[in-house]
Structure 1
């Protein structure tokens, strides 16, 4: 197995760092899946058992900044475990990678490669700018675990749930402020939405009932933009609400960690079962599943 990537564009390095920081806010450990075209960060929680799951796809081919397309990695070389299974799966602690990237944000060149030292490592090598002829190089060795081939089936892209309603989210900062305040009232929050662009966030306890209303949010037309689902499963009556009661801390964790600044933010609701949050931005897509609670 071999992996080597090289980044010289500061804008993309900062973008890459923000993505990793977002991942580190969502999970302590995850699977980094490397292919010839993409990097995937996967958290394969069992939603049926109350765990969250995550799928983040980061393309290594094209990065758009100021409407100019450039290569994400100036160099990208990957050789998997075999020609038939040309992938690499590593268990990583994203916080360690995030810390390493934060220390080298002004680097001229950053190289990331898979190495074998005292254990398998993702080695980050950064050449920093200097006023003298002597170069400054920082090296971070981030321990990882190689995931055996027999377990790869657990880290495939999740299928699109058979949702009842799909709706665009309000501004994430606004939504975060609302959830932060509601967290002081209850440990659980009900998210409900319909196909008329209405979404409500509700807290209901024996002592208090609070609802925040959002209107005119819009409903994505699946198949036109995302090609993930044809939308045939959506509720036909546009005023009927689909809802899910979730652990408010899990939703707050998702909202607190966002540094991707998505161009699109959406939510699919499987009535009383799960909410499926999706963020899209240029070369990044992030899916996050939060199970409903009784």
Structure 2
């Protein structure tokens, strides 16, 4: 298996770094899936058992000037690696003003992602900084464990308010409670609420927009959207994980959709021009 990619445009280097920074803030370890046209960061915990699940998808052509991959075989032209995103982030941060950044799969004492950063120099000689990031190669028999999660059969779907505003609200609430109840309806309304023995605090958002999934043939199947647009659907979740999700968004997403299956699961869908991220959180029972 071989992999080699190169970033030259400084905007692409910084954007890719922001994507990795987002992942690093959400998880300690994940799976990096490399294909001929896309890159994925995946965490597949069992949401039903209290874990989270992440699926982040990038179109490689929007980032890399050069991109070459020779996967397991001609039939399975992919590579799956266990990585620690924070280690990759540290390497990329040294290249924020770089002339180029090369990333390749190498074999040292252990398989590594080698990040080679070419730094600008006042002389005619380039300066290079090299980082070897240990990874584990995932065998083919385990690949099926990393399939894209299905969109839940949600009861309500709504575009979220500006994340910076939400983050300020949630940061205040998390000092009072470990849990937050998110309620929304198909009439553009969302409420964040915490309840303790001492107080009940809620913040209301109105005039939001609800996505029209009927225009998307792939996502409009079997949707259980409520016919009563004023009916609120809710999910009680870990407020610190929610805060972590909000503070981790470094890519300045154009839209963030919140899908709720009543009292079962909450699904955040982060959309950007060349990046999409799905984040699944389980409901915490009372």
TM-score (norm 2): 0.97
Residue in 1 that maps onto 2:7: 7
User: Does 2:240 correspond to 1:240?
Assistant: no
- In the alignment, the residues of structure 1 paired with residue 220 and residue 284 of structure 2 have an alpha-carbon distance, to the nearest angstrom, of 25
Which residue in 2 is equivalent to 1:27?
27
- Report the CA distance between 1:77 and its aligned residue: 0.5
Report what 2:282 is aligned to: 291
Counterparts of 1:114 and 1:16, CA distance in 2 = 18
- 1:207 deviates by 1.9
Residue 66 of structure 1 corresponds to which residue in structure 2?
Answer: none
SS in structure 2 at match of 1:170: coil
Contact 1:34–1:88 (CA<8 Å) still a contact in 2? yes
Aligned partner of 2:195 in structure 1 is 204
2:113 partner SS: strand
- Deviation, 1:150, is 1.1
Instruction: Please list, as runs of the form range in 1=range in 2, the aligned pairs for 1:46-65 lying within 5 A after superposition.
Output: 46-62=46-62
Cα distance per residue 1:217-243 (max 9 Å; x no partner): 110112426943347321111011110
Q: Which residue of 2 aligns with 1:218?
A: 209
User: 2:41 aligned with 1:41, yes or no?
Assistant: yes
Tell me the alpha carbon deviations over residues 80-120 of structure 1, each in whole angstroms, 9 at most, x when there is no partner. Answer: 11111111000000000001111111111111000000100
SS of corresponding position for 2:75: coil
1:280 & 1:230 partners in 2: Cα distance? Answer: 20
Q: Shift in Å at residue 256 of structure 1? A: 1.2
Cα distance in 2 for residues equivalent to 1:228 and 1:92? 31
**Distance of 1:285 and 1:226 partners within structure 2:** 18
CA deviation map 1:50-103 (0-9, x unaligned): 0011000011123xxxxxxxxx21110011111111110000000000011111
Please, which of 106, 109, 134 is the counterpart of residue 100 of structure 2?
Answer: 109
Corresponding residue SS for 2:260 = strand
Q: Is the 1:221–1:231 Cα contact (8 Å) retained in structure 2?
A: no
Are 1:121 and 2:112 an aligned pair? yes
Q: 3-state SS of the aligned residue for 1:61?
A: helix
- CA distance change for structure 1 residues 182 and 285 in 2, over 3 Å: closer, same or farther? same
Does the residue aligned with 1:40 lie in a helix, a strand or coil?
strand
Q: How big is the alpha-carbon RMSD for the aligned residues of Structure 1 and Structure 2?
A: 1.2
Distance 1:4 1:262 in 2: 28
Question: Residues 160 and 229 of structure 1 are in contact (CA less than 8 Å); yes or no, is this contact kept in structure 2?
Answer: no
- Residues matched between the structures, number: 285
Answer yes or no: is the 8 Å Cα contact 2:155–2:223 preserved in 1.
no
Task: Say which SS state the counterpart of residue 265 (structure 1) adopts.
Answer: strand
Find out whether 1:160 has 2:151 as its counterpart.
yes
Q: TM-score, normalised by structure 1?
A: 0.95
1:236-273 per-position Cα deviation (integer Å, ceiling 9, x unaligned) = 11011110000111101101111010011110001001
- Work out the CA distance in 1 between the residues paired with 2:271 and 2:217: 10
Tell me which residue corresponds to 1:276: 267
